[in-house]
Structure 1
Amino acid sequence: MRGRLLTLETPCLLPQLGAGRRFLRGLLHSDGSRATNTIHTNGRTYACPRYHFTNHSGDLMRLCEESLDRLGITWRMCMWKQVPVARREAVAALDVRVGPEA
């Protein structure tokens, strides 16, 4: 194999440690969830998908928030340990970038 450079792809065992979009994906797949929020108002029922990232580590919370900011995804802090993403366009953006949990 003279003159050739071998490149081996190493599987990403810890996706939250990977570069780019894999970081946020790893965070949401390990400590997050995608759920449907059902709202009953004025005799009507609405079903709205949303993401939640929950963690007790302030560092991980900050990194999640910064990652969402870099992607332009709107989020709001509802508790000190939870970051929800609930706006329709923000959930759609995360659906594209995060995808279903494997």
Structure 2
Amino acid sequence: MYDLSTRKRALALVAQGRSLNSASRETGISRAAIRSWQDRIEPRPRMPHPDPGPPSDESAYAYLLGLYLGDGCISPHPRGGYYLRIACADVWPGLIEECREAIGKVRPGVGVHVAQKQGCVAVTSYSRSWPILFPQHGPGKKHERRILLEPWQQAIVDGHPWEFIRGLIHSDGCRITNWTTRSVAGERKRYEYPRYFFTNRSADIIRLFTKALDQVGVDWKRANPFNISVARKASVALMDAHVGPKY
């Protein structure tokens, strides 16, 4: 039904990180047909991962590491190589663009694509090097396995703690405004105050986050086993200066 060049074009789009839906819309070929062509392809033998060397931009890497630990995953491609995917909510277009820019700075020259999902987009990039750059990759959910930084990663985080914190907040954190009322001269008055929250089910990722907060002098408290709160005025001001709300 489809000639060879049409099939190659559809498969090339998927290989670039495009979703089946996206490739189907662009080519007019059904998702089922594209999937069946993928299934017929013999998987290529796994080649040793090439050493990518250090990240091209360590500041961008610290930010991207925070995003990855919160909302990222790495998955193998059946023909070799790996996809890095970072889930970003639709309501934060600035975050989506920052994520794309960070990937491009960490690995100049790689393709970066956005695939629309329900309520979010997956910022996706293909490279054979992603498991080396993010050795926390592994089977199962992050909170069900140990998450430790390699010495070279810890050195980058120590050199760029605010970028790391910002990436974690942009993935699994938020800035909100709380309010309370107080009685002043017999009159109830409403007071509002901002605070930051970070929520993650991994004790290891929580530990990495709080260690970075300690490094930059931010006071924090544990609201519950999975939730870190920053509410002191001076610490919120520091977070506002270096992190800020999502946008």
Which aligned pairs between 1:39-78 and structure 2 lie closer than 5 A?
39-42=180-183, 43-78=188-223
Counterpart amino acid of 1:38? W
Residue 177 (structure 2) aligned to one of 26, 31, 36:
36
In structure 1, C-alpha distance between the alignment counterparts of 2:182 and 2:65, rounded to whole Å: 40
What RMSD in Å do the two structures reach over aligned CA positions? 2.2
Percent of aligned positions that are identical: 38
| Cα gap change, 1:52 to 1:9, in 2 (>3 Å) | closer
Counterpart amino acid of 2:242? R
Show the counterpart of 1:14: 64
* Structure 2 gap ranges (5+): 1-55, 69-155
Show the counterpart of 1:3: none
In structure 2, C-alpha distance between the alignment counterparts of 1:59 and 1:15, rounded to whole Å: 14
Tell which deviates more after alignment, 15-24 or 37-46: 15-24
In structure 1, C-alpha distance between the alignment counterparts of 2:212 and 2:57, rounded to whole Å: 25
Show the counterpart of 2:232: 87
Q: Deviations over 1:50-101 (max 9, x none)?
A: 0000110101100111011000111111100100000111000011111342
Counterpart amino acid of 1:22? E
Q: Which has the higher contact order (CA 8 A, sep 6+)?
A: 1
Larger radius of gyration: 2
- Report the CA distance between 1:14 and its aligned residue: 2.2
Q: Contact between 1:74 and 1:90, CA under 8 Å: does it hold in 2?
A: yes
SS class of match (1:14) = helix
In structure 1, C-alpha distance between the alignment counterparts of 2:235 and 2:219, rounded to whole Å: 6
* Structure 1 gap ranges (5+): 1-7
- The structure richer in helix per residue is 2
- Report the CA distance between 1:9 and its aligned residue: 5.7
SS class of match (1:77) = strand
Q: Contact between 1:15 and 1:25, CA under 8 Å: does it hold in 2?
A: no
SS class of match (2:235) = helix
